[in-house]
C-alpha cells in the first residue's frame, strides 16, 4: 500500500466524522433518538478507523514538517497545538459518552455530551484543516 494516500484518507475520515456528528446533533434536537444513535455510533466507528490509519501513517512516514512562512505559520501551529491537545481527550470522552448512552443513563450522557461534542467536532474539523495546510499548501 502507498502510505502517501493515508493523509487524504485521514482527512476524509475526519470530515465524515464531522458530518456525522453534526447530523447526529441535528437528529437529537429533533427528538429522533434512533437516528441520533446511528450517527453517533457511526462517528465513533469512523474515528476509530481514523485513529488506526493515522497511527499507521505516522509509524511508517514519521514526522511531516510544515513549510509555510509568515503569519500563516503561527496560525498553523496554533491550530495544530489545540487540535493535538484536544484530540488526546476525544477517545476517552467519546467512550464515556457513548457508554453512558448505551447503558441508558441519559442524564449523565447529556452532561458529558455537552463537553464531548464541541471538542470532538473541533478536532474533526481542524484535522481536515491541518491536512489541507500541511499536504495541499492551503494558506501557505
What is the maximum span of the chain, computed from C-alpha positions, in angstroms?
A: 50
Q: Rounded CA gap, 81 and 76, in Å?
A: 8
The pTM of this model reads 0.95
Q: Rounded CA gap, 106 and 124, in Å?
A: 24
C-alpha cell at 16: 465524515
**Per-residue model confidence as pLDDT tens digits over 56-112:** 999 999 889 999 999 999 999 999 999 999 999 999 999 999 999 999 999 999 999
Q: Rounded CA gap, 104 and 99, in Å?
A: 9
SS3 66: coil
Q: Per CATH, which fold does 3-135 belong to?
A: 1.20.120
Task: Report pLDDT for 140.
Answer: 73
C-alpha cell at 110: 447529556
Task: Report CA dihedral (101, 122, 91, 85) to the nearest 10 degrees.
Answer: -140
Amino acid at each position: 500500500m502507498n502510505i502517501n494516500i493515508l493523509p487524504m484518507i485521514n482527512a476524509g475520515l475526519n470530515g465524515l466524522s464531522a458530518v456525522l456528528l453534526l447530523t447526529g446533533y441535528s437528529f437529537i434536537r429533533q427528538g429522533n433518538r434512533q437516528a441520533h444513535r446511528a450517527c453517533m455510533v457511526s462517528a465513533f466507528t469512523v474515528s476509530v478507523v481514523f485513529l488506526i490509519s493515522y497511527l499507521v501513517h505516522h509509524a511508517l512516514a514519521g514526522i511531516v514538517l510544515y513549510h509555510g512562512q509568515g503569519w500563516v505559520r503561527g496560525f498553523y501551529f496554533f491550530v495544530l497545538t489545540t487540535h493535538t491537545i484536544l484530540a488526546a481527550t476525544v477517545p476517552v470522552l467519546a467512550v464515556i459518552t457513548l457508554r453512558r448512552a448505551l447503558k441508558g443513563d441519559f442524564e449523565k450522557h447529556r452532561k458529558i455530551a455537552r463537553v464531548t461534542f464541541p471538542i470532538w467536532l473541533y478536532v474533526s474539523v481542524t484535522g481536515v484543516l491541518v491536512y489541507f495546510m500541511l499536504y495541499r499548501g492551503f494558506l501557505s
